[in-house]
A and B are shown apart, each in its own frame.
Chain A
Amino acid sequence: MHDIVNLEAAGTPGVFLASTEFVDAAAAQSRALGADPAALFVPHPIQDRSDDELRDLADAAFDAIVVAITARADER
């Protein structure tokens, strides 16, 4: 979260991915940093998943990731 906020401050847009376990922590961290970084959440847990399951999670998140780092139509 710090990293994305710092990179955004340097002008590089970014998105931060975490498991759903981090939703509250991310919100608190955002408040503490006075920022609203783009964050996406994939279903918890991560560390005991098989490779195939992790690739499925990545595929499921892929479109949302692209959306998070590109401008909405009304921002272009």
Chain B
Amino acid sequence: MTTLLDPTSEQAPGTRERARRPASLDGLTIGLLDISKARGDVFLDRIAERLVARGHTVARFAKPTFTKPAPIDLRHEISTTCDVVIEALAD
């Protein structure tokens, strides 16, 4: 395992920084990524309902299998068509 010395002022966390978040979801496209585990779709259906009720745009995606990371093409599609993404539901 590699250990490096932090070259920064150490005011930010040492882990990868999260992507910059929008101030609000208004006018944004929200991706819902179903990991394809049983019953997760019911949960995501409800989240979608709530988001649409608030006037947001929702785009639905599903992984081929929950056992592997999403294929690169799917990731690319999500990152180019959505502003934020919600992934569910691991159990």
Contact = CB atoms under 8 A, between A and B. Distances in A.
A13 B20 contact: yes
Interface in A17-65: 17-19, 21-22, 30, 33-38, 42, 44-47, 49, 51, 54-55, 57-59, 61-62, 65
A14 B86 contact: yes
Interface in B32-90: 33, 35, 37-40, 42-44, 46-47, 50, 63, 69-70, 75-76, 78-79, 82-90
Contacts of A14: 19, 31, 33, 84-87
B90 A54 contact: no
Given A8-B19, A36-B15, A18 B91 contact: yes
A33 B69 CA distance: 13
Contacts of B82: 12
Nearest to B89: A17
A11 B22 CA distance: 11
Contacts of A30: 15
Interface of B: 13, 15-16, 18-25, 30-31, 33, 35, 37-40, 42-44, 46-47, 50, 63, 69-70, 75-76, 78-79, 82-91
6 contacts: A3-B75, A12-B78, A35-B16, A47-B38, A58-B43, A75-B20
Interface of A: 2-19, 21-22, 30, 33-38, 42, 44-47, 49, 51, 54-55, 57-59, 61-62, 65-66, 69-71, 75-76
